[in-house]
Structure 1
Amino acid sequence: MEITPEQFAIIEDLLPVQRGNVKFLNLDVLNAVLHIAEHGCKWRGLPERFGNWHSVYMRANRWAKQGVLEKVFLALQEAEIINIRVDHVSLDSTAVKVHPDGTGAFKKNGPQSIGKSRAGWTTKIHMVAAGAQTAVTFSLSPGQAGDAPEGRKLLNTLKDKRWKGTKVLMDRAYEGDETRQLVLDLEMAPVVPPKRNRRNPWEYDKELYKKRNEVERLFRRLKGFRRIFSRFEKLDVMFVFFIHFALIVDTLFSVNRP
């Protein structure tokens, strides 16, 4: 799998302008990163056809620290959401096992959302999705963190979206009073089944709730990238870089997808 010049043209103007005698074009770097993300190999294991692995890594590292791919993701996401009618979003999380190579960094080097849960050392990806192919926002937390508190942090970032009346599909991990009240305060509508021990259970749209699988399908496609299926990055900044990269690639390859 490679990013074609036609697909690259969609985001070319969103990437830093190359100046001077530059050996690697941005498209070449993106395809090298795609190989790393797809196959989960080490930077040093990058095939020779992609050029010097260290040069590719240095540019990717620089882009990660500058938030370059986050800007590209937001631009594509805004364009995608403008073209669809957002009548519901889904909130969920997924756990990612941390490879031994992804541990051991000094805390002073930067945030590391890695924690020990029943599954061992894990990171959780929390995400709000507006469809099976459209991520709205996401965040990271240590594996042992609760879904509801992290979910509320994500929901608070939707204040400026002004999606009045938008349905928020959530599973029972988010059915607490505080989370549902936050959704109502945002002028959105919670669609979440009550726990079986609720004294006063509420009715919810069971047919619409079936669409919560959209965020799960999005997680499934993200985990098709081995660099996301297992966390190899010691610092959040690089893991977030690969998540943004996977979301961008998924969008680019879905342009002509039926």
Structure 2
Amino acid sequence: MEITAQQFKIIENLLPIPRGNVKIANLQVLNAVLYVAEHGCKWRGLPKKFGRWHSIYMRANRWAKQGVLDDVFLALQDNDIINIQVDHVSLDSTAVKVHPDGTGAFKKNGPQSIGKSRAGWTTKIHMVAAGYNRAVAFSLSPGQAGDAPEGRKLLKSLENCGWEGTQVIMDKAYEGDETRQLVFDLGMTPVVPPKCNRLSIWEYDREVYRKRNEVERLFRRLKGFRRIFSRFDKLDVVFKFFIHFALIVDTLISVNRP
């Protein structure tokens, strides 16, 4: 897989003008990052066709620290590239195993959302998705963190989106009173089944709840990238760089997806 020139035109003006080794174009850097993300290889393992690996690494590292792909991701949301109508969103999380290369050096500068759970060293990716092909927001937490508290932080980020009346699809991990009340306070409608030990249960739209698989399908595509399926990076800023990159690539591909 590679990013085509036609797809690159969508985000070309959102990327900074190359500096340093200008012989390597931004499209070439993006396809090199795509190779690393897909294959999970080290930067030194890049094929020579992409150019000098260190030059590509330095530009990618600079983009990660400057939040370049964060801005591209937000710009794609604002431009509504994939042109879908938001009538519901899905909230969920997935766990990612941390490779031994990604553990240790906890005194290294920068946040590291890595924690020890039953599955060992893991990181959780929490995500709000609108449909199967559009991530709205995501965050990272240590693997042992609860879903509901992190989910509420993401939901609060939707406060000024103008999505009043939107249905929020969640599984039973988010059926607590505090989470449901937050959804109501945001002017949205929670679609979440009550737990079996609830004294007072509520009705929910079972037909809409079936669409919860959309965020699962998005997670499945993300984990097709080996640098996301297994976390090799100690710092959150680098791991988020690859997640933003994968989401951007998925959006660009979805433009031509039926």
TM-score with structure 1 setting the length = 0.97
Q: Shift in Å at residue 18 of structure 1?
A: 2.7
For residues 178-193 of structure 1, the aligned pairs below 5 Å read 178-193=178-193
Stretches of structure 1 lacking an aligned partner (at least 5 in a row): none
Change over 3 Å in CA distance of 1:173–1:20 after alignment to 2: closer
What is the CA–CA distance in structure 1 between the aligned matches of 2:113 and 2:199, rounded to whole Å? 36
For residues 43-78 of structure 1, what are the alpha-carbon distances to aligned partners after superposition, in whole Å with 9 as ceiling and x for unaligned?
A: 111111111111111110100010100111111122
What is the CA–CA distance in structure 2 between the aligned matches of 1:138 and 1:114, rounded to whole Å? 16
- State the partner residue of 1:101: 101
- State the partner residue of 1:143: 143
Q: Shift in Å at residue 84 of structure 1?
A: 2.1
TM-score with structure 2 setting the length = 0.97
- State the partner residue of 2:27: 27
1:113·1:140 contact (CA, 8 Å) conserved in 2?
A: yes
For residues 60-99 of structure 1, the aligned pairs below 5 Å read 60-80=60-80, 83-99=83-99
Change over 3 Å in CA distance of 1:195–1:83 after alignment to 2: same
Change over 3 Å in CA distance of 1:159–1:40 after alignment to 2: same
Moved over 3 A (4+): none
What is the CA–CA distance in structure 2 between the aligned matches of 1:185 and 1:169, rounded to whole Å? 16
2:106·2:112 contact (CA, 8 Å) conserved in 1?
A: no
1:105·1:235 contact (CA, 8 Å) conserved in 2?
A: no
What is the CA–CA distance in structure 1 between the aligned matches of 2:20 and 2:102, rounded to whole Å? 35
What is the CA–CA distance in structure 1 between the aligned matches of 2:129 and 2:217, rounded to whole Å? 10
Stretches of structure 2 lacking an aligned partner (at least 5 in a row): none
Change over 3 Å in CA distance of 1:19–1:90 after alignment to 2: same
Identical columns (%): 81
Q: Shift in Å at residue 82 of structure 1?
A: 8.2
In structure 1, give the amino acid aligned to 2:139: S
- State the partner residue of 2:46: 46
1:117·1:144 contact (CA, 8 Å) conserved in 2?
A: yes
What is the CA–CA distance in structure 1 between the aligned matches of 2:19 and 2:182, rounded to whole Å? 47
In structure 2, give the amino acid aligned to 1:135: A
